A and B are shown apart, each in its own frame.
Chain A
Amino acid sequence: GAVVSQHPSRVICKSGTSVKIECRSLDFQATTMFWYRQFPKQSLMLMATSNEGSKATYEQGVEKDKFLINHASLTLSTLTVTSAHPEDSSFYICSALNVAGVTGELFFGEGSRLTVL
């Protein structure tokens, strides 16, 4: 099946630094990718929708200047957490939409665990 690769899987950084997370669709083109945040024992919370070649659409309450999203190609979207703080520590997951597949099938990455010290 289709594979979505997310990197890094774990990252620890100091408060105030920026962290970039990559999401790649390995065997299909994804015009749309989604970024989620997940707290322990909670469901995925959609942060933003990333469209190739255009600006991302952010959900209400998500700071676009804090979470920078770039979708420069049909197989890569990046999420940059700028000036990270301990409250940004979370599990971040991406998903990619395969419009060529079964009724817009959604494939998820393995997630990235961010810990800000």
Chain B
Amino acid sequence: KNQVEQSPQSLIILEGKNCTLQCNYTVSPFSNLRWYKQDTGRGPVSLTIMTFSENTKSNGRYTATLDADTKQSSLHITASQLSDSASYICVVTLYTSGTYKYIFGTGTRLKVLA
């Protein structure tokens, strides 16, 4: 069964600290993996996208890693800011029979405190 699991479910950190969010998946056939940031009451915004052959991708203070062998991805946030408070969603894409299908993780809710 195609599944994406994220951990932790929620996380509270102090401003300026780093944190790492995890995403484990059992999706086949794998096409790519995306991390999205969703602010409360807004639509998700893409942070990074990685294909099978990519191990790491950075976007400012966000760095995503992908281990296709263990089917794990992480999102590392450096020097967190109050504006990083949001839900972070891992989405794995599979491509089969000419159709894209997206498997969503349940998200990690991050709260950054001053």
Contact check, A103 vs B93: say whether CB atoms are below 8 A apart. yes
Q: CA A95 – CA B101 in complex, angstroms?
A: 13
Residues of B within 8 A of A34 (CB): 102
Residues of A contacting B45 with CB < 8 Å?
Answer: 108
Residue of B nearest to A51 (CB): B99
- B49 located at the interface, meaning its Cβ lies under 8 Å from any Cβ of chain A in the complex: yes
Mostly, the B contact residues are: strand
Q: Are A105 and B46 in contact (CB under 8 A)?
A: yes
- A111 & B43 in contact (Cβ 8 Å cutoff): yes
**Docked pose: A107 CA to B45 CA in angstroms:** 8
* A114 at the binding interface (Cβ < 8 Å): no
**Beta-carbon contact of A105 and B49 below 8 Å:** yes
Q: Which residues of A contact B34 (CB under 8 A)?
A: 106
CA gap between A35 and B40 in the complex, in Å: 18
User: In this assembly, does B31 line the interface, its C-beta being within 8 Å of a C-beta of chain A?
Assistant: yes
The closest CB in chain A to the CB of B32 belongs to A103
Among A44, A102, A110, which residue has its beta carbon within 8 angstroms of that of B42? A110
Q: How far is the CB of B46 from chain A (nearest CB, A)?
A: 7
Which of B44, B100, B102 has the most C-beta atoms of chain A within 10 angstroms of its own C-beta? B44
Those of A60-102 within 8 Å (CB) of chain B: 91, 93, 95, 97, 102
Complex Cα distance A95/B34, Å? 14
- Cβ-defined contact, B49 with A110, below 8 A: no
- Judged by a CB distance under 8 angstroms, whether A25 is at the interface is no
A104 near B31 (CB under 8 angstroms)?
Answer: yes
**8 closest cross-chain pairs (CB), A and B:** A108-B43, A104-B100, A43-B106, A110-B43, A43-B107, A108-B44, A111-B43, A109-B43
25 contacting pairs across A/B (C-beta < 8 A): A4-B43, A41-B109, A43-B87, A43-B89, A43-B106, A43-B107, A44-B44, A44-B104, A46-B102, A91-B41, A93-B43, A95-B43, A97-B100, A103-B31, A103-B49, A103-B51, A104-B93, A104-B100, A105-B46, A105-B49, A106-B91, A107-B46, A108-B45, A109-B43, A110-B42
